[in-house]
């Protein structure tokens, strides 16, 4: 037997027992007569003691143990004189009688402890070592538990888990597809699914009523901390449902998951329309853990001779509580921050609400103390606060202010990672007009239904009308992160055709790509709708973390590389040839 117990379970009540433990050497400390070894496995760390007086040979071998050696040690559990209250097994130690070294280890390239000294690339290359670390293991185990609880809840709600194919045809959901050449059909390609969207709709047509899948999705996008080329969704679809029923079901799932994994009871989720979110927070995924809401200042700030504001479509401000003390340098820093290309503001106006009731602003030339007092009043500011104001074209400026609000929230430490503020954002626009390409994009995806009240206008309205159509589309937002998104779907061929047309598909293109779906709609498609949760993101947000990478066992780096197996990589010419991908000499440029 390699072990009778694991390294995390022995307690004071086990004193006197003969046990065998197996694990990795975390550290070995040599005190001459005594050698202490911390033995680690997934369950914890137990201290082993080797005494030169008892067995000199054994003690000598223990002294030579390197970090990450794998050993099995047999001995007696005894009470520690020097207890470690920070460890579950800290009251006991093992007085070792026999030890087998099961494997040696090279010196690891970084420390395998709670905090490591390893950089990102090194940790990715030696992922098996990083995965041994406590924080990473806890994340991966949390993920496993979350998946299990998801299945339990959805099963209790009569959902059926169905696997959909990975080798499919493109679904246009806004990102690029990963393509896979077909050996048996030279010159033709599969695409990896960006989501199982069309398949889950087909399952509703097929009468499965409630579907779910915890499923990999693939999108060939530029990567960020919260994006990976392959990621996991909790993907769901329901038939014969209204938007309210979908929201209630998945609010139920979210509450269940928080309760059963974190012991957190979430309150009922407020609903906020897209328009309201944009107006109050300048973003469609507001972080409502803090206020600092956007307030329009057009009425009080325009027509006082300051051209920049007078010519602006929108003048909008936020009130940063207690921030009057920001130095000139800090304010210049903020101005530079909003001027960065990612934000794109032209400048930043500030007003300091001094403790003595006076105001000091960057636009004192144009505004009197009374003028500034009026701004402060609209913004609900008090002495000690700082007002930050942006102006310009309405939509852009709101978004810029939304970003600035978040940045101030970060700088002022207003985002408590242990607090959870979920909400539903509803009533998204159906279509988004893109000035550059002069065409509509689907705000959610092309299968999303307009609101019932807007269907007639969609079928018969003019171009301008299309911009104002609202969809039965919704997002679940927690702490400023989009956790899930979904919609009620179109289930009628005529409406679906119209939508494709608005999105710039010709009839032939629509038929070629989605004829199967529209065809299915002609055989008794029930009304249906669904949602998909970003599973990796949900894991991260529930643990107050930003990076989804830490919740994925084998993630890719920012260049989309798996550093451990070193992929992507080239393939042999034979393989390329077999796939019909070898360029013939005359095709080479």
Which letter does DSSP use for residue 262 in this model? I
Closest residue by Cα to residue 159 from 216, 213, 103: 213
User: Helices (H) and strands (E) in the chain — how many of each?
Assistant: 18, 22
Q: Find the binding residues for ligand ASP in span 158-177 (CB under 6 A).
A: 173
Omega within 30 of 0 (cis) for the link into 218: no
Q: Where are the alpha helices (DSSP H) in 8-88?
A: 56-63
If the CB atoms of residues 290 and 474 are measured against ligand ASP, the closer one turns out to be 474
Please report how close the Cβ of residue 534 comes to ligand ASP at its closest, in angstroms.
Answer: 8
If the CB atoms of residues 71 and 532 are measured against ligand ASP, the closer one turns out to be 532
Please report how close the Cβ of residue 200 comes to ligand ASP at its closest, in angstroms.
Answer: 7
**Distance, CA of 489 to CA of 493 (rounded, Å):** 11
Please report how close the Cβ of residue 173 comes to ligand ASP at its closest, in angstroms.
Answer: 6
If the CB atoms of residues 398 and 537 are measured against ligand ASP, the closer one turns out to be 537
User: Which of these ranges, 141-149, 340-348, 350-358, 526-534, lies near ligand ASP under the rule CB under 6 A?
Assistant: 526-534
**Distance, CA of 142 to CA of 548 (rounded, Å):** 13
Please report how close the Cβ of residue 216 comes to ligand ASP at its closest, in angstroms.
Answer: 12
Please report how close the Cβ of residue 530 comes to ligand ASP at its closest, in angstroms.
Answer: 4
Position among 124, 404, 531, 548 found at the interface with ligand ASP (CB under 6 A): 531
N-to-C CA span, the chain: 65
Residues 6+ apart with CB under 8 A from 276: none
Strands 92-103 and 44-51: what pairing?
A: parallel
**Distance, CA of 375 to CA of 373 (rounded, Å):** 5
**Distance, CA of 295 to CA of 388 (rounded, Å):** 10
Residues 6+ apart with CB under 8 A from 400: 282, 338, 343, 344, 345, 390, 392
If the CB atoms of residues 286 and 484 are measured against ligand ASP, the closer one turns out to be 484
**Distance, CA of 408 to CA of 214 (rounded, Å):** 36
Please report how close the Cβ of residue 370 comes to ligand ASP at its closest, in angstroms.
Answer: 50
Q: Find the binding residues for ligand ASP in span 294-353 (CB under 6 A).
A: none
Write a three-state SS string for 286-297: CCCCCCCCCEEC
Which letter does DSSP use for residue 261 in this model? I
What is the contact mask toward ligand ASP in residues 194 to 213, using x (rule: CB under 6 A)?
Answer: -x-x----------------
Please report how close the Cβ of residue 485 comes to ligand ASP at its closest, in angstroms.
Answer: 5
Position among 108, 317, 485, 555 found at the interface with ligand ASP (CB under 6 A): 485
Q: Specify the length of the chain in residues.
A: 589
User: Which of these ranges, 242-250, 257-265, 480-488, 560-568, lies near ligand ASP under the rule CB under 6 A?
Assistant: 480-488
Structure tokens, 575: 């393989």
Q: State yes or no: residue 487 binds ligand ASP (CB under 6 A).
A: yes
Q: What are phi and psi of 306, to 5 degrees?
A: -95, 105
Q: State yes or no: residue 530 binds ligand ASP (CB under 6 A).
A: yes
User: Which of these ranges, 137-145, 339-347, 431-439, 484-492, lies near ligand ASP under the rule CB under 6 A?
Assistant: 484-492
Assign 48 to helix, strand or coil: strand
408-415: long-range contacts, CB 8 A cutoff, minimum separation 24: 408/292, 408/318, 408/320, 408/323, 409/287, 409/289, 409/290, 409/292, 412/320, 412/321, 412/323, 414/289, 414/290, 414/292, 415/287, 415/289, 415/290, 415/479, 415/480
Q: Strand pairing partners for 189?
A: 181
Position among 483, 488, 532, 542 found at the interface with ligand ASP (CB under 6 A): 532
Q: State yes or no: residue 486 binds ligand ASP (CB under 6 A).
A: yes
Give the rounded distance of the alpha carbon of 237 from its chain centre: 21
User: Which of these ranges, 16-24, 25-33, 259-267, 481-489, lies near ligand ASP under the rule CB under 6 A?
Assistant: 481-489
User: Which of these ranges, 56-64, 288-296, 328-336, 483-491, lies near ligand ASP under the rule CB under 6 A?
Assistant: 483-491
If the CB atoms of residues 306 and 521 are measured against ligand ASP, the closer one turns out to be 521
If the CB atoms of residues 195 and 213 are measured against ligand ASP, the closer one turns out to be 195
Please report how close the Cβ of residue 532 comes to ligand ASP at its closest, in angstroms.
Answer: 4
Residue that has been written with the tokens 């084998």 in this structure: 554
- The percent helix, strand, coil of the chain (3-state, each to 5) is 30, 25, 40
Please report how close the Cβ of residue 484 comes to ligand ASP at its closest, in angstroms.
Answer: 8
What is the contact mask toward ligand ASP in residues 377 to 416, using x (rule: CB under 6 A)?
Answer: ----------------------------------------
If the CB atoms of residues 125 and 219 are measured against ligand ASP, the closer one turns out to be 219
**Distance, CA of 523 to CA of 393 (rounded, Å):** 48
User: Which of these ranges, 48-56, 73-81, 142-150, 528-536, lies near ligand ASP under the rule CB under 6 A?
Assistant: 528-536
Q: State yes or no: residue 442 binds ligand ASP (CB under 6 A).
A: no
Rama region for 248: left / alpha / beta (φ>0; ψ in -120 to 50; rest): alpha
Q: State yes or no: residue 488 binds ligand ASP (CB under 6 A).
A: no
In 52-153, at which residue ranges do the beta strands (DSSP E only) sit? Answer: 70-79, 92-103
Please report how close the Cβ of residue 140 comes to ligand ASP at its closest, in angstroms.
Answer: 24
If the CB atoms of residues 251 and 310 are measured against ligand ASP, the closer one turns out to be 251
If the CB atoms of residues 96 and 473 are measured against ligand ASP, the closer one turns out to be 473
Number of residues that bind ligand ASP (CB under 6 A): 10
Q: Strand pairing partners for 103?
A: 70
If the CB atoms of residues 22 and 485 are measured against ligand ASP, the closer one turns out to be 485
User: Which of these ranges, 108-116, 344-352, 525-533, 540-548, lies near ligand ASP under the rule CB under 6 A?
Assistant: 525-533
**Distance, CA of 172 to CA of 499 (rounded, Å):** 13
Please report how close the Cβ of residue 99 comes to ligand ASP at its closest, in angstroms.
Answer: 53
If the CB atoms of residues 76 and 175 are measured against ligand ASP, the closer one turns out to be 175
507-521 vs 197-205: helix crossing angle, rounded to 10: 40
If the CB atoms of residues 37 and 532 are measured against ligand ASP, the closer one turns out to be 532
Cβ–Cβ < 8 Å for 507, 497: yes
**Distance, CA of 412 to CA of 529 (rounded, Å):** 40
If the CB atoms of residues 118 and 530 are measured against ligand ASP, the closer one turns out to be 530
| Chain positions contacting ligand ASP, by CB under 6 A | 173, 195, 197, 445, 485-487, 530-532
């Amino acid at each position: 037997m390699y072990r009778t117990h694991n390294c995390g379970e022995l307690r004071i009540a086990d004193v006197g027992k003969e046990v065998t433990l197996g694990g990795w050497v975390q550290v070995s400390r040599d005190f001459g007569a005594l050698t202490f070894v911390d033995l680690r496995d997934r369950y914890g760390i137990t201290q082993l003691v080797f005494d030169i007086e008892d067995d000199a040979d054994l003690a000598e071998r223990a002294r030579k143990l390197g970090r990450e050696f794998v050993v099995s040690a047999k001995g007696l559990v005894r009470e520690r004189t020097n207890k470690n209250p920070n460890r579950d097994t800290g009251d006991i130690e093992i007085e070792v009688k026999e030890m087998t070294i099961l494997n040696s280890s090279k010196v690891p390239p970084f420390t395998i402890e709670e905090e490591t000294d390893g950089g990102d690339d090194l940790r990715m290359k030696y992922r098996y070592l990083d995965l041994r670390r406590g924080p990473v293991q806890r994340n991966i185990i949390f993920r496993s538990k979350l998946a299990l609880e998801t299945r339990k809840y959805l099963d209790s709600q009569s959902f059926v888990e169905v696997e959909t194919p990975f080798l499919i045809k493109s679904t246009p959901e806004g990102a690029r597809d990963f393509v896979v050449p077909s050996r048996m059909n030279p010159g033709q390609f599969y695409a990896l699914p960006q989501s199982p969207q069309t398949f889950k709709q087909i399952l509703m047509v097929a009468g499965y009523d409630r579907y779910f899948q915890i499923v990999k999705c693939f999108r060939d996008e530029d990567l960020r901390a919260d994006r990976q080329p392959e990621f996991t969704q909790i993907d769901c679809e329901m038939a014969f449902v209204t938007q309210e029923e979908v929201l209630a079901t998945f609010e139920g799932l979210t509450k269940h998951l928080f309760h059963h994994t974190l012991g957190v009871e979430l309150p009922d989720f407020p609903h906020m329309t897209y328009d309201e979110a944009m107006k109050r927070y300048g973003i469609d995924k507001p972080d409502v853990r803090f206020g600092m809401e956007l307030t329009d200042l057009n009425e009080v700030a325009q027509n006082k001779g300051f051209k920049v504001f007078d010519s602006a479509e929108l003048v909008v401000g936020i009130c940063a509580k207690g921030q009057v003390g920001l130095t000139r340098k800090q304010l210049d820093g903020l101005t530079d921050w909003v001027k960065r290309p990612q934000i794109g503001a032209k400048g930043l106006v500030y007003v300091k609400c001094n403790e003595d009731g006076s105001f000091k602003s960057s636009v004192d030339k144009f505004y009197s103390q009374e003028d500034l007092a009026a701004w402060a009043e609209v913004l609900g500011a008090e002495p000690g606060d700082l007002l930050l104001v942006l102006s310009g074209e309405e939509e852009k400026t709101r978004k810029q202010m939304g970003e600035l609000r978040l940045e101030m929230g970060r700088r002022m430490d207003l985002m408590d990672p242990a607090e959870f503020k979920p909400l539903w954002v509803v009533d998204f626009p159906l279509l988004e007009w893109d000035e550059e390409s002069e065409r509509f994009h689907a705000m959610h995806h092309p299968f999303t239904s307009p609101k019932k009240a807007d269907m007639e206008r969609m079928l018969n309205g003019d171009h301008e009308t299309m911009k104002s159509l609202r969809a039965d589309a919704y997002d679940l937002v927690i702490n400023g992160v989009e956790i899930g998104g979904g919609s009620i779907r179109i289930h009628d061929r005529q409406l679906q055709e119209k939508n494709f047309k608005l999105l710039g598909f010709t009839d032939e293109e629509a038929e070629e790509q989605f004829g199967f779906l529209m065809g299915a709609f002609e055989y008794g498609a029930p009304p249906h709708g669904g949602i998909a949760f970003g599973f990796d993101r949900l894991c991260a947000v529930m643990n107050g973390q930003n990076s989804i990478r830490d919740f994925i066992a084998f993630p890719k780096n920012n260049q989309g590389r798996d550093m451990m197996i070193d992929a992507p990589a080239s393939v042999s010419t034979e393989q390329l040839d077999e796939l019909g991908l070898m360029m013939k000499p005359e095709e080479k440029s």
